[in-house]
């Protein structure tokens, strides 16, 4: 706190104070420090990440969470957990095209992350009513699932994807 008094314009110090308040269990004070830190545009992506996670845990404002996660992904593109959370939050906000774009921008997806990545892409495609693409991503998610628990989770997450439309097949009519 002494450093904060000495350097009142430091987003990193405000972020560190937010971390301390989190460790002490005072989420309201932590949120206040993180908000102060973000207003100062800190260089450290972790401040944005910690703020987004705290908002998520507290059921915080979706728009603020999306903004923070967008900044995390911009500053640390390889942090897949942030990218997945951003994709999920963008879908919740109805911004399916943005969600799909952010997911496709992933620099590298490790095999253990592939199933979740494809689930998120299926959900976003479904939200865009691109049902063939959604089903293709759903199939990729199923193929990428490695354990029984992961396969069950993939199926649970994909349950909301629309089933293929049934097209009637008719015999040709002859006059």
Q: What is the pLDDT of residues 83-117, one digit of tens each?
A: 999 999 999 999 999 999 999 999 888 999 999 99
Give the separation between CA 31 and CA 17, rounded to whole angstroms.
Answer: 10
Q: 59 — alpha (psi -120 to 50), left (phi > 0) or beta?
A: left
The pLDDT value given to residue 3? 58
Is residue 14 within 8 Å of 36, Cβ to Cβ? Answer: yes
List the one residue out of 116, 123, 78, 136 whose CA is nearest residue 97.
Answer: 123
Residue 41 Ramachandran class (φ > 0 left, ψ -120 to 50 alpha, else beta): left
Give the span between the Cα atoms of 60 and 69, in whole angstroms: 13
Q: Which tens digit of pLDDT belongs to each residue from 125-173?
A: 999 999 899 989 999 999 999 989 888 888 887 887 755 444 333 233 3
Kindly report, residue by residue over 37-85, the tens digit of the pLDDT: 788 877 789 889 988 998 887 776 899 999 999 999 999 999 999 999 9
Q: How confident is the model at residue 5 (pLDDT cuts 50, 70, 90)?
A: low
Supply 152's token pair.
């069950």
């Amino acid at each position: 706190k002494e450093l904060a008094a000495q350097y009142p314009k430091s987003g990193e110090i405000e972020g560190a104070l937010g971390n301390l308040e989190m460790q002490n269990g005072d989420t309201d004070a932590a949120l206040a420090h993180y908000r102060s830190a973000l207003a100062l545009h800190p260089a450290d992506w972790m401040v944005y990440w910690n703020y987004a996670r705290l908002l998520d845990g507290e059921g915080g404002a979706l728009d603020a969470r999306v903004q923070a996660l967008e900044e995390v992904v911009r500053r640390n593109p390889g942090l897949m957990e942030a990218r997945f959370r951003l994709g999920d939050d963008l879908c919740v906000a109805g911004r399916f095209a943005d969600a799909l774009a952010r997911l496709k921008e992933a620099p590298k997806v490790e095999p253990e992350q592939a199933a979740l990545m494809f689930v998120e892409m299926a959900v976003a495609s479904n939200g865009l009513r691109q049902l063939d693409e959604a089903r293709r991503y759903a199939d990729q998610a199923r193929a990428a699932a490695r354990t029984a628990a992961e396969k069950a989770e993939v199926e649970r997450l994909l349950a909301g994807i629309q089933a293929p439309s049934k097209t009637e097949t008719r015999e040709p009519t002859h006059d």
